[in-house]
A = this chain, B = another copy of it.
Amino acid sequence: MENKDHKFAPPLYVTGQKCFICGSVYSYGNVQTCPKCGIEGILDVCYDYDEIKKHLTPATLLSRKFDHWRYKELLPVPDDIQLPHLHVGWSPVYDVPRLASHLGIKKLWIKDDGRNPTNSFKDRASSVGVLKAIEFGFSTIACASTGNAASSLAGLSAAVGLQSFIFVPQRAPEPKITQLLVFGATVLKVQGTYENAFDLCREACEKFGWYNRNSGTNPFLVEGKKTAGLEIAEQCANDLPDWVVVSVGDGCTIGGIGKGLQEMKRLGFIGRVPRLLGVQAEGARAMVNAFKSGTDLIPTETNTIADSIAVGTPRNWRRAIGQIKQSHGEMITVSDEEILEAMKSTARFGGVFGEPAGVTAAAGLKRALETKIISPNESALVIVTGNGLKDIQSAKQAVGDPISLPPTMAALTAVLSSRKTN
């Protein structure tokens, strides 16, 4: 399964990987978790920031392409590797005054990550993942995913010509499964939960010599996710939001964004790091429980419409909670009803249609304003992490049916009059 005909130079500025639990630092290479601490020992990629500071500046960025590879010094990717052709990152940031006024906040931006190639935030991670597989000599890559990481990995694997095996839990929505079948992935629908799919994928990677793309445990994937934080710092440098609001599943997304923002502060692009508001669904609140209690994470059952964040055992909870606390941030939960309501308001007042997990941040912002965690005089940026077309069944719960009528003006006039009187 491995393809070792080319040796890539190691990424220029990576100095090693450090365990979040025991603090051991490992030299750069194909490692997943800390050998001493096991699956809990998530590793954090370390960089030589003093050296990076000489090369990554507002001036050098001027001439670079507008995708997430523009921050190449901050990515664990060899300089001589061919990048996927799909355009990943540099998702638009929209100033949305009508949504701001609807929610009751002074200033609001949406960063629409549903605009990525396979329509979710996860393309940031998968685009790094497929390069790591190639760099380390694998011809096959695998992941377990509630859906978006799966379709993202399938799309990016197709783009670079890797074979992909995807383990999905039983509840993954059909559009996401179809999307990855179209991309040519081998799809294994595991009769069980996300955790069952996750464990089986991990065992299979070890047994069959596949590269494991699971972003919960793979130290490099979260580096791809952090590019959203790097972009926010660059795109909003002149008017940095007080809060960045992010939906939370595994913890990698908010943890990555926090890391990216911290790095941009360290490199002098921004003077402060916005406070992070992490939002979970009430039916999948393991991370919020740990954040509030200050104890280690206790896995929970999950029950929420927001399948992309329906994670009972968030693997990257130390990173996520660490970043939120470092930013003086907060965590909060929202109900499925609030998520569906946010889906409508984000679309109707912001022009952006997000899937349930994609608009969970917007629902969280509303709740945070109601509970006075965020003041109406502050500003916020919410990240929409996935396109609404990903999960039409849930969207249907948020809206009614169309009005059906015969093709006559009489019928139309009757419909419009009855709407006025109702």
Q: Which residues of A contact B (CB under 8 A)?
A: 66, 84-87, 92, 94-96, 98, 112, 115, 117-119, 155-156, 158-159, 161, 168, 174-175, 177-179, 181-184, 186-192, 196-197, 199-200, 203-204, 207-208, 343-344, 347-353, 387-390, 392, 395-396, 398-409, 412, 415-416, 419
Chain B hits for A95, CB < 8 A? 85
Chain B hits for A390, CB < 8 A? 389
Chain B min CB distance to A392 (Å):
5
* Pair A115/B118 contact, Cβ less than 8 Å: no
A188 partner, pick from B155, B190, B403, beta carbons under 8 A: B403
Chain B min CB distance to A415 (Å):
7
* Pair A407/B197 contact, Cβ less than 8 Å: yes
- Bound Cα distance from A103 to B321, whole angstroms: 49
Interface CB pairs A-B, < 8 A, 17: A112-B117, A155-B347, A158-B347, A158-B349, A159-B351, A179-B389, A179-B395, A182-B343, A182-B388, A182-B398, A186-B419, A188-B402, A189-B403, A189-B404, A190-B407, A191-B407, A192-B406
* Pair A405/B191 contact, Cβ less than 8 Å: yes
Q: Given contacts A181-B400, A189-B402, A192-B407, list 7 more A-B pairs with CB under 8 A.
A: A158-B351, A178-B399, A179-B353, A183-B347, A187-B402, A191-B406, A197-B407
- Bound Cα distance from A181 to B340, whole angstroms: 13
Chain B hits for A208, CB < 8 A? 416
Chain B hits for A94, CB < 8 A? 85-87
Chain B hits for A177, CB < 8 A? 402
A175 partner, pick from B115, B181, B389, beta carbons under 8 A: B389
* Pair A344/B115 contact, Cβ less than 8 Å: no
A392 partner, pick from B178, B406, B412, beta carbons under 8 A: B178
Give the residue name and chain of the B residue nearest to A404 (CB).
B189
- Bound Cα distance from A348 to B160, whole angstroms: 10
* Pair B191/A86 contact, Cβ less than 8 Å: no
Chain B hits for A416, CB < 8 A? 208
- Bound Cα distance from A86 to B412, whole angstroms: 31
Chain B hits for A199, CB < 8 A? 407
Chain B min CB distance to A66 (Å):
7
Give the residue name and chain of the B residue nearest to A118 (CB).
B353
* Pair B118/A183 contact, Cβ less than 8 Å: no
A178 partner, pick from B112, B155, B191, B396, beta carbons under 8 A: B396
